Each structure stands twice: as C-alpha cells, then as structure tokens.
Chain A
Amino acid sequence: MGRVSRRQFLRSSAGIAAGAAAWNTFGQAPAFAQKRELTFLSWNHFVPASDDELRKQAEAFGKQANCTVRVDTIAHLQLPAKFAAEAASQSGHDMILAGTNTAFLYEHQLVDVADVVDDLGKRYGGWYPFSKEAAYMSSGWKAVPWFWISFPATYNMAHYKKAGFEVPKTWEELLKQGKVLKKQGNPVGIPISHCNDANTTYWSVLWCQGGKVLEADGKTPALNSDKTAQVIEWYKELYRDAMDPEVLSWDDASNNRFILSGKGSWIHNPISPYNQALAKSMPIADDINHHRSPGGPAGIHSAPPINGIGIWKFSKNADLAKEFIKFHFQKENFDAWIVASNAFNHPPLRHFADHPIWAKNPKFAMLPGEAEYGHPRGWPAKTNAAVNLIEVNYVLPDMVAKAINGMPTKRAMAWGEDQVKLAVQGKLETKGKS
C-alpha cells in the first residue's frame, strides 16, 4: 500500500531540502550568481518620480554592466546618522548622496573622483563655478557634483502690481518695498529661526553685503565686522517694518504656507510653493512668479543646496560606481531625470542647463542662470566641520534674533563671534583646509 519506507522518506526529504536551499540562494542572488551588487544611499526625493527614474536607470545600467544596482532612499534628516554609522563600521553602501558638508566631513573616507569630473566637464560644457568650491579639496575631488536646488525669490505678482513695484534687484530695495507692502497688508517673509532656510538667506544677504563668517583658511573667525553689523541692522529694520513677528518661529515649510495663503508678498525659497500650487490647482499659482535672488554692494551671491555623489573608500566597487555615475550623466539619462523631477533637479553642468523644461516656462526661465551666483556655505572658506557646526547650531539666525529681541548689535555680534570661535576649536583647525 502507500507505506513509505524510511529510506524513501530520507531520500525525498533531502531532495526537497536541497531544492529549497537552492531556491533560497537564487532568490537572494548576490553571493551565488557571481553578479556584483552596486549600492547607492540617497534621500527620499522631494519629487518621488525623480527616485523612480533613478531606479530605472540603475536597472538599465545593471543589465548593461552585468551587475545589480540597488538604490536605497531614506529621509534626508536620517542621512547624517547613517553616514556616521557606515564610516565608523567601514561597511555599507558604495555610493552616497553627498551634500557639501558631507564631502568635507568625510574627506578622508571618500574616493578621489577627479577622473570622472574631468571627463564629464569636457563632454558637457564645463561645471558651474560652485562645483569646485563644493567638492574639491586639497586631497582631490571628493564628490561628483550632481544637482543643486535653485533658491530664487518667489513673489506675488498681484501684490506687487497693487503697490506699483518692479521686482527688487537688491536686498536694500526689498527693504524699501517691504515697508510699503507691509502697510498694504502683504508683508515679506524671511525666516529668522531654527531652520535651514534661515541659514540660506543669511549667507546670501551677508555675501551680497561683502561679509564673511570665516576667512578663506577655514579657521580664522571673520564674523565681527562692519559688514555683519550692517546686515544685522538691515534684518532689524526688515523685521520691524516689513515682516510679521511670525518669522521668528518659522520652519522650512512656513514660508511656503505664507505665500500660498495669499498674505505674503515675497519669500526667498526653492520653487516648491509654485509647484505645490500647480499640483493642487490652487488659483494663486497664477499670481506667483520667480525672480533672481537679490544682490548688494558686493554683487549677487546665493547659497543654494548643492549635492554630489561620493564613493566610500571602503567600497570594493569604486570603478563600477564611477561607470554608473558616467552612465547616469549621459545626456538622455540626465535629461530624463530632470524631467522626472519636474525641473527641481538643477544640473551643475552647463550643457544640461539648456533643457527646454526651463526655457519654455517663463516662470522658470531664469532659474538655471542662478547657478552663476551660487556658493557652498562657508564660502570663501570650505564647508568644513566648523561651518557645519555653525549651520546646525543656527548661530547666524540666532545672532540676528538676539539683536531683534533688543540686544545691542555689537553684543549680538560678539556673541556670534564667540560661537564661531567655539566651532573652530580643537581638531577643526586641521580639517577641511584647501
């Protein structure tokens, strides 16, 4: 009858076990299939379609180079901790999304990618000036500049028309207009609080005035100056006569809400409010427009976020990673990626900036040109660990806020200078020197 002998049972169960084991190994390919795996750690993009396009290209590259490419994305605020862990354990991904401070903080942990940078620069019309400032240090190019996010002025055309103003070309002009606009019920808005936008705008205003926070050597404090005093005075006046007190509590999304609510007349921000208005078909989208980030006595300068791709030194796939970067930078691929991001990803290479996605929309047309004025934070110093500390501790907006809250400008500046001194102490003096 159907009795199974012990031997039969053993044989068949062994077969099943072996089959299952084989299934498992093939299912998890890497070890067995002799296919290399290339990994990339990036952030959850603000425009998710951009990540989808990147993954599509990763798959295409995998087929071409007979490997698998995995793109992992996590929340951008978690990246610093993840990088720290990977550097400490000397294991993890091959490539990382490297913001400017990442490239400098991990200078000695990242591969020199000068060959890729040279090659791409020659092929696509050269890099914008900020690229070198953002990724090149004495030990070489520590990231391939990847994309930057324009930080123009966003304004409400209806409010401007009502007041009879042209768009401001300088920060000084903005102050004059702001006084009238506030009386009209439409104040301007620049955050003076613990948020990134507050830092970004401060750098811009300071540079346009001709000031700096650190000397070019990256370790000598240069904050205590007439220029800084002028900037603080400018902020005080702007706060008093052209803004509402709410700017003291703003986060990175507050100015978006401020302009979208219809109340605000002018903000300094990426183009996200306009895109949001379009996406949600808000009527205010028609009134919103962009113009070039304002300038000052020392010219036009801005501090847009600049991102690169870095390759860990511990990676065993550094060459393959370089191939992947070149693949992604092929014109058709990079263009597709720009389109997927809905014009959010700005190219650091001149030829890519000619993309029709900007040219054909009058509200976007000026955006790629902003690249000429961009610098990484800390400029003329490198974005070293001290600059990073000054940024994450919000020293600059706090200095302004202290003055606004009644502290004499000189004392507020002395406080800021003291914080900068604390930031450059100790080991920093040897870090990030160019």
Chain B
Amino acid sequence: MAIGQRALEATEFARPGRLERVREWWEQEHVFGYGLILPALLLIVCLVAYPFGMAIYFSLSDYWVGSPGGFVGLDNFRQIFRNEVFHRTVYNSFVFTSIAVVFKTLLGVWLAMLLFRTFKFKRLVRGAVLLPWVIPTALSTLAWWWMFDSLYSVVNWTGIRLGLITAPGPNWLGMTTYAMVAVIAVNVWRGLPFFAIIVLAGLVSIPREYYEAAEVDGASSWGRFRHVTLPLLKPVLAVVILFSTIFTFADFNIVQVLTRGGPINTTHLFATLAYQTGLMGGNLGQGAAISLFLFPMLAAVVFFQLRYIRRE
C-alpha cells in the first residue's frame, strides 16, 4: 500500500486532482472529437498525403531511378504533352471508362432487378454473383487472357461452333478495336457485381407501398420502374457511378495482364503507361507526371457528382 502510494506520487500523474482535470479536458467535445479523428488523420497523412506530395515533387523534377534529380519545373508535363503515346492514352482512358461505366450501370440495374425477385437459392445466387468482384483481379484476368489467347481462344472456339463467328475469328488481343472490346468486357464483368449489389441494397430500401399505390393506379411494370424505382434509386446510383468512374479510370491490372498496353498502345491507360515509363523505364519524373494527370480529371468528376448528390 505504502509503496503504491509513493510510486504514484513519483510519477506526479495520478494525484486525484490532476487526473480529474485531464479527464475533464479530454471530455470536452472539441478535444474528444478531434482525438477520435486523429488516428485516421495520421493514416491519411502518412499513406495518402505524403505519397501524393512526393508524386507532385517527382513530377516537377528529373528524378531517374538511381539518380535523384533537380527541379525542372513543368518540363515533364511538356514532354508528355508532346508524346503521341500519351495522347493515345488520354483518348483510350475516356473511351474505356465511358463505355465500361455505361454498360456497368445498365447491366448492373438489370441484374439487381433480377436478384431482387424471390426465387429458389436466392441467397446462394446473390453470393455467387459477387465472385468476380471478390477474386483477385490478377487471377481472374489471367483466365480471361487465356480465353482470348490467339492460338487457343475459347471465345472464338465457342463462337465458331455456335455459328456466330466465321473461322478463324478475331485476334482479340492483337487488333486495336478488338483489344479495347476485350479489356472493356473484362472490366464490365468484374465491376458488375459491385453495381448490382449496391443497387440491390437501394431497391430493398424502397417502401413496398409505393409499388402498391402505383399498381392500384394501373401503372405498367415499365411505368413502375420509370416513375417509382428509378427516381428513388437515383442517389444510390449517383454514388455508385462516382465510385465506379474512379475505379475504372485508375484501372491497371486488367490492361497489364491482358495486353500490357498493346497493340500499338491502343489500350494503354494512365496507370499502365505511368508504370511502364516510371518503374520499368526508370523515368520516375515522367511516370509521376503521367499518373498525376489522373488527379485533375478525377477531381472534376468527384466535384460534379458530389454537387449533384447534394442537390438531390
């Protein structure tokens, strides 16, 4: 007992008065609130803000692997703007993202409506639908890569057997248009479950009464969808489209595994080109400049989407 007392006094911490004061200070709302945010804030500073700052610094320097460079202003950006491959990448990214997101939205809503119905093994099917989203992309894309293989393409084989394609069928990953179709298809396949499940959550939250009322008023199924489901889904859809746009713009795995940006750079996205130039080629400055190019575009997308959501 006596020892305990002395130890406590030595630390000068636990005298009842002081402890009380600390506790009082801590329990003030503005201190406690910020205290709770602090760990998350630290994480963001270390893992997001710091790398982001470094990326900006790299993009303004002629930093090469193995030899830290000096400040060169906007030289890197000037060089990538001059580069035909970069122009092509910007074009690819817009084509890739817009088509993929449109398809994911349409098919996602459709799939969600199907899953919303009651049928046998509903839970099992709902779970199974998520698989493409859950399997690591690099793995599932390998399977796709094999299906599109020039020599042993399962897609072509099936198409030819079904009479849909004339032999020998397209060289999926070797022809410019087909390669884009292939990477978009895989991206849609992978992103669809994310859409469907979130839209499904939105559907579940729509009160049954609206549908009943609409039915009483004699609305057809299309009318119910058009005037009840769609307006109430809008906020959910807006959020999910926002997320999907960001993910799709920044996609890397699918292109890297399927085409490595080929044929003739017609499937390069910002991430793959930045990887190629920065890490493989050692030109970290330019690599950073290319990947930073994503930032203003995504920022614009986020800005408009969020404004739209808030207005709703």
A81 to B66, CA, bound (A): 11
Q: How far is the CB of A265 from chain B (nearest CB, A)?
A: 14
B262's contact among A193, A257, A415, A426, by CB below 8 Å, is which?
A: A193
In B173-222, the 8 Å CB interface with A consists of 173-176, 179
A246 at the interface (CB under 8 A from B): yes
Given contacts A258-B151, A405-B264, A422-B79, contact A388 B174 (CB under 8 A): no
Are A398 and B264 in contact, CB atoms less than 8 angstroms apart? Answer: yes
A84 at the interface (CB under 8 A from B): yes
Are A194 and B175 in contact, CB atoms less than 8 angstroms apart? Answer: no
In B147-193, the 8 Å CB interface with A consists of 149-152, 171-176, 179
> Chain B contacts of A297 at CB under 8 A?
none
Most chain B CB atoms below 10 A, which of A248, A388, A419: A248
B92 at the interface (CB under 8 A from A): no
A137 at the interface (CB under 8 A from B): no
B82's contact among A401, A405, A422, by CB below 8 Å, is which?
A: A422
* Interface residues of chain B: helix, strand, loop or mixed (majority): loop
Are B283 and A194 in contact, CB atoms less than 8 angstroms apart? Answer: no
Count, chain B residues at interface, CB 8 A: 40
A385 at the interface (CB under 8 A from B): yes
B282's contact among A108, A193, A388, A418, by CB below 8 Å, is which?
A: A388
B64's contact among A193, A246, A250, A385, by CB below 8 Å, is which?
A: A385
B224 at the interface (CB under 8 A from A): no
B75 at the interface (CB under 8 A from A): yes
Are A389 and B171 in contact, CB atoms less than 8 angstroms apart? Answer: no
Most chain B CB atoms below 10 A, which of A81, A194, A392, A419: A194
A87 to B173, CA, bound (A): 36
Q: How far is the CB of A424 from chain B (nearest CB, A)?
A: 11
A106 at the interface (CB under 8 A from B): yes
A80 to B277, CA, bound (A): 12
> Chain B contacts of A80 at CB under 8 A?
65, 279-280, 282
Given contacts A106-B66, A194-B259, A418-B84, contact A248 B171 (CB under 8 A): yes
A109 to B68, CA, bound (A): 12
> Chain B contacts of A208 at CB under 8 A?
none
Q: How far is the CB of B60 from chain A (nearest CB, A)?
A: 13
Are B79 and A108 in contact, CB atoms less than 8 angstroms apart? Answer: no
A81 to B287, CA, bound (A): 13
Q: Beta-carbon contacts of B56-67 to A below 8 Å, as 1s and 0s?
A: 000000101111
Are B151 and A261 in contact, CB atoms less than 8 angstroms apart? Answer: yes
* Interface residues of chain A: helix, strand, loop or mixed (majority): helix
> Chain A contacts of B175 at CB under 8 A?
245, 248-249
A402's contact among B150, B171, B264, by CB below 8 Å, is which?
A: B264
A83 at the interface (CB under 8 A from B): yes
A88 to B64, CA, bound (A): 10
A247 at the interface (CB under 8 A from B): yes
> Chain B contacts of A106 at CB under 8 A?
65-66
Q: How far is the CB of B287 from chain A (nearest CB, A)?
A: 11
9 A-B residue pairings within 8 Å (CB atoms): A106-B65, A108-B67, A193-B174, A244-B150, A246-B174, A249-B171, A389-B281, A422-B79, A422-B82
Residues of chain A touching chain B, judged by Cβ–Cβ distance below 8 Å, are 80-81, 83-84, 87-88, 105-109, 193-195, 244-251, 254, 257-258, 261, 263, 385, 388-389, 392-394, 398, 401-402, 405, 415, 418-419, 422, 425-427, 431
Given A105-B64, A194-B260, A249-B262, output 16 extra A-B contacts at Cβ < 8 Å: A83-B65, A84-B279, A105-B65, A106-B66, A245-B175, A248-B175, A249-B171, A249-B174, A251-B260, A254-B151, A257-B151, A385-B64, A392-B280, A393-B276, A422-B82, A425-B79
